[in-house]
Structure 1
Amino acid sequence: MKTDEILRELAPQGAIRTAINLGNPVLAGRDAATGELAGVSVDLAREVGRRLEVEIEFIPFDAAGKVTQAVSSGELDMMFLAVDPVRAAEILFTAPYVVIEGTYLVREDATYQAVDELDHAGARIAVGQGAAYDLFLTRHLKQASLERAATSPDAIALFVAQQLDAAAGVRQPLAAYAADHPGYRVLPGRFTAIEQGMGVPRGREIARAWLQDFVEDVKKTGLVKMLLDRHGQSAASVAPPAAGWSVF
């Protein structure tokens, strides 16, 4: 692939307009001292820019669902999101670069000891609207109901305020909340392994093909593992090679 062909799809306005989802603190956040965007996905985006010699224009979002909406309205060229068939209606995904556990936060005195015990009649679970675990649980829960908040942090607040049965989310921020708030705990195990990939709007096949090669390279060469270690993200693991992995 020629660089100019890639850039016509990946940077049609001269810079790669890149979504950074601050709703997933495992992969992105703001530097406590400077307020600048930081994290694994931020560093990977910068590496894309370095290799293609193009500017990266970061656009932060506080929830993954808002990223998908921005794709629909033509505001983005590249994004870092959990791979999901609902999102694939708008986004061409690469294979995942990291895998993150989705689990539940419950009260300390709750009877639940395993994630599958939450799926019963009358159970109410807080989720962030449009988050990967919202999409997954919407498809897989048979009896429990979902109560949606605007963002993943808001889902924890909703769970506490309304005395719901659980809050669903990425393990790390749930565990951080439990550590800071006595009376809460995170269930062992997971209800899903959230596969985080890179994506471009549908119709940009050349850009997706280049990013797919990029993802496999940064996994193979150890860059993803180095970035996870640099940012102290033990809650995520490097995704396996893409052989046998299918794009929706």
Structure 2
Amino acid sequence: MNKLDPSLLSSFVPTGSLRVGINLGNPLLASLDGDVPKGITVDIANHIASKLQLPITFTCYQMAGATVDAVKAGDVDLVFVAIDPVRGADISYTPAYIQIEGAYMVKESSPLTKNEDVDVSGNEIVVGKGSAYDLYLTREIKQAALLRSANSQAVVDNFMSGSGNVAAGVKQQLESDAQRYEGLRMLPGRFMVINQAIGTPKARVDFEKVTAYLSSVIQELKTSGFIAEAMLRHKVQGAKVAD
């Protein structure tokens, strides 16, 4: 499926310019080069705009929650966020294009040694507000408490300032942020797999057909090696192309 018929295209892109919301809260997928966004998500968005022969505009958000709010409000036409059933009430997802691990970090002196030690009464887990792992842990954690930072980038700094005794987030981001400090260690393995996908607003007419089109594009980009090549180009490590 290379093109959309005019009526479907006008529903998907009502302004005539593909408006893309970019989440800067996950540096594995997007970051800024000056004022210009770059990363895997930007590459995919540019590819879609090129296929549709449309101009493109990017709006960047500092956290996933703000990106989700923007697509729900109709301020953007598509976003790149983690698949989550709570968000799925308002957002239609393509299949995942990349998988990322969510992990825990503690201080060297912590008695916690494995993921199963975390959900215990008295533990406090610092998470980025509105992130995929915040939504996941809100559902799954039964005994420990969640302490929400303003965004994912603030998790380690808040943790090191005395908030909580466990930091949770994207494994690579925690490892990167932890380089600014000493005396930290990751718990082995992961507590979740984060499936990243394209999301579009369910409020739009024919959103199912739009999602089907975007799903075909994602499959093409995975099969052709585009996603894998973008990961190499942007030096993304610790993630994999989704099945």
TM-score band, normalised by shorter chain = over 0.9
Query: 2:214 matched to 1:222?
Result: no
Q: Which moved more, 1:79-88 or 1:9-18?
A: 9-18
Instruction: State the partner residue of 2:112.
Output: 112
SS at match of 2:137: helix
Shift of 1:36: 1.7
Shift of 1:163: 4.0
Number of residue pairs aligned between Structure 1 and Structure 2: 238
Structure 1 unaligned residues grouped into runs of 5+: 241-248
Tell me, in whole angstroms, the C-alpha distance in 2 between the residues paired with 1:62 and 1:233.
Answer: 19
Tell me, in whole angstroms, the C-alpha distance in 2 between the residues paired with 1:111 and 1:235.
Answer: 26
SS at match of 1:153: helix
Contact 1:113 1:187 in 2 (8 A): yes
SS at match of 1:180: coil
Tell me, in whole angstroms, the C-alpha distance in 2 between the residues paired with 1:156 and 1:16.
Answer: 35
Contact 2:128 2:151 in 1 (8 A): yes
Tell me, in whole angstroms, the C-alpha distance in 2 between the residues paired with 1:28 and 1:186.
Answer: 23
Residues 49-64 of structure 1: pairs in structure 2 closer than 5 A: 49-64=49-64
Tell me, in whole angstroms, the C-alpha distance in 1 between the residues paired with 2:132 and 2:142.
Answer: 18
Structure 2 unaligned residues grouped into runs of 5+: none
Tell me, in whole angstroms, the C-alpha distance in 2 between the residues paired with 1:192 and 1:214.
Answer: 26
The CA deviation string for residues 218-246 of structure 1, in whole angstroms up to 9 with x for no partner, is 00111000000111101210000xxxxxx
Tell me, in whole angstroms, the C-alpha distance in 2 between the residues paired with 1:164 and 1:221.
Answer: 44
Instruction: State the partner residue of 2:38.
Output: 38
Residues 179-218 of structure 1: pairs in structure 2 closer than 5 A: 179-202=179-202, 203=204, 204-218=207-221
Contact 1:21 1:81 in 2 (8 A): yes
Instruction: State the partner residue of 1:244.
Output: none
Contact 1:3 1:52 in 2 (8 A): no
TM-score (norm 1): 0.92
Tell me, in whole angstroms, the C-alpha distance in 2 between the residues paired with 1:211 and 1:5.
Answer: 16
Query: 2:15 matched to 1:13?
Result: yes
Shift of 1:216: 0.6
Shift of 1:70: 1.5
SS at match of 2:179: helix
Shift of 1:68: 1.6
In the superposition, relative to structure 1, how do residues 129 and 12 fare at CA in structure 2: closer, same or farther (>3 Å)? same
Instruction: State the partner residue of 1:4.
Output: 6
Identity of aligned pairs, percent?
38
Q: CA RMSD in A?
A: 1.3
In the superposition, relative to structure 1, how do residues 185 and 211 fare at CA in structure 2: closer, same or farther (>3 Å)? same
One-letter amino acid of the counterpart of residue 79, structure 2: M
Tell me, in whole angstroms, the C-alpha distance in 2 between the residues paired with 1:236 and 1:210.
Answer: 25
Instruction: State the partner residue of 1:246.
Output: none
Instruction: State the partner residue of 2:172.
Output: 172
